[in-house]
Copies of this chain bind each other. A is one copy, B any other.
Amino acid sequence: MKMREVAVIGAGSTKFGELWGQSFRALGLEAGMKAMASANLAGDEIDAIYIGNMSSRLTKQQHIDALVADYTGMAGKHIASTSIEAGGASGGVAFRQGVMAVASGMHDVVIVGGAEKMTDLDDDSVNEVMNATTDADWEAGMGLSLTSLYAMIARRMVHEGLATREEIAACAYNSHFHGQFNKDAQFRKEIKLDTVLRAGPTAEPLTMFDGAPISDGASAVILCPLEDAKKYTDNYVKVAATAQASDTLALFQRKSITEFEATKVAAQQAYAAAGITAKDINVAEVHDDYTVAGCMALQDLGLYKNGGKAFLEGCTKFDAGKIAVNTSGGLKAKGYPIGAAGVSQIVELYQQLTNNAGDRQVKDAKYGLAQSVGGTGSAVTVSILEAM
């Protein structure tokens, strides 16, 4: 069965960071307005909303679907609004559902947003919510945290000789290097590798600088049928593929913890659907909530044989002429408002593939890939965008 082809015709983000002055509602609205403006839409054209948002425990508000429809003024037209939760992959899954809505013919112009307001709570509460994306009974309930689980993975990587500690740390260096060029990023300073290695330990061998920050922020993109894209703008890209895979919730049930099978499966499906291979990708946004996750991603996606080495050798920089990675600053430097993360990756790819990435523009980028991860790889989406 041939699906209707889908385009991204606009994108926008708020600044990511500790945004004390802006409410969850205000952030969502700002990202939506920016995305609509970039697609030259007045708003009336939109007939469905998808939102990635992780936790009602952060905002004390259920029914985020209705909240967003209401505060964007869309409830006045009674359009469908749908909210998705998939831990850290919430934004990636929301994007895929939005693509499906257009591909199915059920909707025509769809806005996909992601938003999270995390800094209104104390750190312990935020950590409790984030750790609940692991197996709440058998991992978090036993005292494990996301950080300690990723620390186990890092330790195992080093133990098996799959990466050195320096290579793992280089993922953070790469993200901070790119963050300096992104005016919406939470951290905009280049750092030294030593800064990562010598920062305070969180769970050994990981330090403060191996993990993405807790952030507020929102991102949004606009989708429509590919055949209609030109009606709205000349700046559009094609959604060449979007795939999603799952794995066990708990890490201890996997055969291997030095690779995410869900990433591999989703990537294979996405490459096949797009009719390309990993070699064709020019720019990738991968889920570096922890440095070691970023390294694994490059390997599992087939982009680099040794992810950490690629970061350490600078192959992943926007101007290296190879596969550029996390040119937005990644989750590590751009910031990590959980529900927004997967959508913000699409925003960056849209800008790269329409040649609007400014100081960090990857030259002649044709294919962009986004990988979004929930928990310790228990849900992964891989989407591929193609420049037109």
Contacts and interface: CB of A to CB of B under 8 A. Distances in A.
Interface of A: 1-4, 49, 54-57, 59-67, 69-70, 74-75, 78-87, 93, 97, 100-101, 103-106, 129, 132-137, 243-250, 253, 261-262, 265-266, 374-375, 378-379
Given A75-B248, A97-B97, A103-B104, A62 B85 contact: yes
11 contacts: A3-B105, A56-B129, A62-B132, A66-B87, A66-B379, A70-B249, A74-B246, A75-B249, A75-B378, A79-B246, A100-B104
Contacts of A75: 246-249, 378
A187 B3 CA distance: 45
Nearest to A101: B100
A34 B61 CA distance: 33
A116 to B, nearest CB: 12
A63 B249 contact: yes
Contacts of A243: 80
A244 B82 contact: yes
Contacts of A378: 63, 66, 69-70, 75
Contacts of A78: 245-247, 261-262, 265-266
B70 A62 contact: no
Nearest to A93: B82
A249 B70 CA distance: 6
A70 B379 contact: no
Contacts of A55: 56, 62
A132 B97 contact: no
Contacts of A262: 78
A103 B38 CA distance: 30
A65 B82 contact: no
A248 B379 CA distance: 32
A379 B86 CA distance: 21
A368 B85 CA distance: 30
A250 to B, nearest CB: 8
A303 B2 CA distance: 38
A54 B65 contact: no
A180 B249 CA distance: 39
Most buried by B among A106, A265, A378: A106
A227 to B, nearest CB: 10
A81 B379 contact: yes
Contacts of A265: 78
Contacts of A86: 63, 65-66, 82-83
A136 B66 CA distance: 12
A56 B105 CA distance: 32
A106 B103 contact: yes
Most buried by B among A2, A4, A79, A378: A378
B56 A246 contact: no
A265 B56 CA distance: 27
A248 B103 CA distance: 28
A230 B82 CA distance: 32
A83 B84 contact: yes
A247 B73 CA distance: 10
A100 B253 CA distance: 32
A254 B49 CA distance: 21
Contacts of A67: 135, 249
B246 A65 contact: yes
Contacts of A69: 246-247, 249, 378-379
Contacts of A100: 97, 100-101, 104, 106
Given A75-B378, A83-B86, A132 B65 contact: no
